[in-house]
Structure 1
């Protein structure tokens, strides 16, 4: 009953009753409590330690330590970064941090490049649309000026014909043979 004495009385009693060990001796391998401290896994294996995400494993002295939540990185006084394992036993904490920072950097860089490219394309399409609209306006303006010029030309022709008619210089084009009759 030595291992169970570390737990609070009610929890230990409930665990012992549920396992049927209230009065008997405990001979099999100890089952880790649900809320075991990280130090409980020291001297065991890295995999057992890292099952609890609040723990990290130090290879140099085979200890399972509580991850210092107040610090972003565990201080070297606890364990060297190259010897610390967190999340996976096959990669050290130093390599894990470098890998994560490189991946996040690439994601950030690619997102920035994509945003800049999209903005460039939008700006370019807007300028092309603006150029097309300007060109269309110029074409309409040319057509309007051409129509005004034709209208002024017709008005001048009408005025000139009135003056010619007034002074008898306008010949009737309705009857091309009329001029031979007058002679």
Structure 2
């Protein structure tokens, strides 16, 4: 359910993001070409390259018409030309392919940015945080239990040694012990 909502959100923003990316990529290339001088309609029924020399022109390859680019709308309306046949800035890229490619690239960038943010903010914070009070208390109690256990062990050993001495079972290392011959 959550992935469907995320997919709908990505699809909703894919078209505006693709159009914005289209402007960011093609605007500098188009600005380097010839300035606004000739009317776009004069280049109709010629080649795409001749039409797109003017930055404000849009080439429609289905009917070979050179028209003014509708600047108020990022994407040309379907009544003027289909997105798959519209060219602007360069002849080898149509609007449809560019929108799809830029949406995919933009989506993957947004996804990677979200993953990086989650990794940096959540995972590293948990890993590098100081132990809280309950963890410190548990560590302290564990250390105290270990010390008490060692004290009890030493006490039991001394008691057992006393009992062994009492009944003569305690074997002391005597340097003057008698050598037995076999």
**TM-score, normalised with respect to structure 2:** 0.51
* In structure 2, distance between residues paired with 1:51 and 1:132: 70
Q: Sort the Cα spacing of 1:42 and 1:97 in 2 relative to 1 into closer, same or farther, 3 A.
A: same
Match for residue 51 of structure 1?
53
User: Can you give the 5+ residue segments of structure 2 that lack an aligned partner in the other structure?
Assistant: 1-33, 148-182
Looking at both structures, which has the greater relative contact order when contacts are Cα pairs under 8 Å and sequence separation is at least 6? 2
Greater C-alpha radius of gyration? 1
Q: CA RMSD in A?
A: 3.3
Q: How does 1:106-117 map to 2 (within 5 A)?
A: 106-117=108-119
Runs of 4+ in 1 over 6 A off after TM superposition: none
Q: How does 1:21-170 map to 2 (within 5 A)?
A: 35-127=37-129, 129-131=130-132, 135=136, 139=140
Q: Sort the Cα spacing of 1:33 and 1:51 in 2 relative to 1 into closer, same or farther, 3 A.
A: closer
Tell me the alpha carbon deviations over residues 112-162 of structure 1, each in whole angstroms, 9 at most, x when there is no partner: 1111111122321244x235995399649x78xx9xxxxxxxxxxxxxxxx
* In structure 1, distance between residues paired with 2:109 and 2:124: 22
* In structure 1, distance between residues paired with 2:128 and 2:52: 55
**Matched-pair contact (CA < 8 Å) for 2:36–2:54:** no
- Aligned residue pairs total 113
